[in-house]
Amino acid sequence: MRSDFEIKREICEIGRRIYNKGFVAANDGNITVKVSDNEFWATPTGVSKGFMTPDMLIKVDAEGRVLEGTWKPSSELKMHLRVYKERPDVGAVVHAHPPTATGFAIAGVPLDKYTMPEAIIFLGSVPIAEYGTPSTDEIPDALSKYLQSYDAFLLENHGALTVGKDLMTAYFKMETLEFYAKISLTARLLGGERELSCEQIGKLMDIRRKFNVPGKHPGCPSCNIEGVGEPVKQELKTNESGFDEKELTAIVAEVTKRVLAQCKG
């Protein structure tokens, strides 16, 4: 069993990584690690994740009460505690604002295409949890709908959240999420993603099971390939123009293609 100091040192290291990668700015984001069913180490409010030291971290209970430390907890701690309450398998939670993934969250476009083998095996599709006011129960309530099916979430007009059996797993899911978002955006600018076939997805899911990858994965809703957790249907929103998000994505891709063609001409 790892000591509290080792856990706190790892939290500071992951804080530096998400800061240096530009996943957070200023004092954004928060990280928690489960110690027991009623003890969690958490990053404090008002501190840059790139400049934390172990003595700044606080230990809280399942109700958010401070057990150790002199700093105040983040107002978004409720979101983390809801995850631990509803997902006993989760040992760590990372919340950040990776720019490209957050762009998808702001645009209201879920990352639900099955295109990259690595994302299919280690991440799964990524839904959008409906908007909630920060520091209230609105965000945990919106997130709760998806917790039993996914390990990575876009938070509408807010950012992203990833969970894992330990902190490194949760962090790597955040890295994979942003990488997946960047590639998805590039593919859409080039005319759209080409999804893998049901047969190809099935083989990748077999690999996931073979390597016993922990966590939730909704599987493929198109071909009913079994995942780990039941998929939640993500309803597309219709904006004032009358187009749904899939239609808008296709329109944006076509307009971008034509603009690039004109620039080349």
Residues 76 and 201 in one domain: yes
Does position 258 have pLDDT exceeding 90, yes or no? Answer: no
Residue 220's pLDDT is 82
Residue 161 has pLDDT above 60, yes or no: yes
Domain boundary among the residues 166, 191, 210 is at 210
| pLDDT (average), residues 9-28 | 98
The residues carrying an active-site annotation are 76
Q: What is the mean pLDDT of residues 83-97?
A: 98
Long-range contacts of 109-113 (CB under 8 A, 24+ apart): 109/245, 109/249, 110/154, 110/234, 111/154, 111/177, 111/180, 111/181, 111/184, 112/234, 113/184, 113/193, 113/195
Question: Among 10-19, 34-43, 118-127, 240-249, where is mean pLDDT lowest?
Answer: 240-249
Do residues 33 and 164 both lie within one domain? yes
What CATH number should be reported for the domain holding residue 23? 3.40.225.10
Tokens at 36, concatenated: 């027991």
Number of structural domains found in the chain = 2
Is residue 217 assigned to a domain?
Answer: no
Q: Are 93 and 142 in the same domain? A: yes
265 in the same domain as 151 = no
Per the domain annotation, does 233 fall within a domain?
A: no
Give Cα 251 distance to the centre of its chain: 27
Task: Dig out the tokens for 3 from the structure.
Answer: 């000591």
pLDDT for residue 222: 74
**Domain shared by 197 and 147, yes or no:** yes
What does the alpha-carbon distance between residue 183 and residue 176 come to, in Å, rounded to a whole number? 11
The more confident residue out of 202 and 249 is 202
| Same-domain status, 81 and 18 | yes
Q: Is residue 232 part of a domain?
A: no
Q: Is residue 70 in a domain?
A: yes
Task: Please report, as a single letter, which amino acid is at residue 14.
Answer: I
% of the chain exceeding 70 in pLDDT: 84
188 and 118 in one domain? yes
* Res 134: pLDDT: 85
End residue of a domain, out of 171, 190, 210 = 210
The residue type at 149: S
> Does 229 score more than 90 pLDDT?
no
pLDDT value at residue 208: 92
Q: Is residue 161 within 8 Å of 153, Cβ to Cβ? A: yes
Average pLDDT, rounded, for the chain: 88
Give the mean pLDDT of 154-181. 97
0.75 exceeded by pTM: yes
**Residue 226 counted as domain residue:** no
Query: Amino acid identity of 262?
Result: Q
pLDDT on residue 240: 41
Q: Which of 210, 225, 253 is the last residue of a domain?
A: 210
8-12, 72-76, 234-238: range with highest mean pLDDT: 8-12
Tokens of 61: 């209970």
Q: Are residues 150 and 254 in the same domain?
A: no
- Structural domain includes residue 219: no
Are 172 and 247 in a shared domain?
no
Question: Is residue 18 predicted with pLDDT exceeding 60?
Answer: yes
Note whether 83 and 155 are within 8 A (CB).
Answer: no
* Same domain? 32 vs 155: yes
> Within 10 Å of residue 214's Cβ, how many Cβ atoms?
14
Domain range for 252 is 239-265
Considering the domain architecture, whether residues 106 and 160 belong to the same structural domain is answered as yes
Gap between the Cα atoms of 37 and 154, Å rounded: 26
pLDDT at 256 over 60: no
253 shares a domain with 201? no
| Model confidence at 265: pLDDT above 70 | no
Instruction: Identify whether the C-beta of residue 170 lies closer than 8 Å to the C-beta of residue 19.
Output: no
**Mean pLDDT (whole number) for 61-80:** 96
> Residue 141: inside a domain, yes or no?
yes
pLDDT tens-digit profile of 135-160?
A: 899 999 999 999 999 999 999 999 99
In a domain, 218, yes or no: no
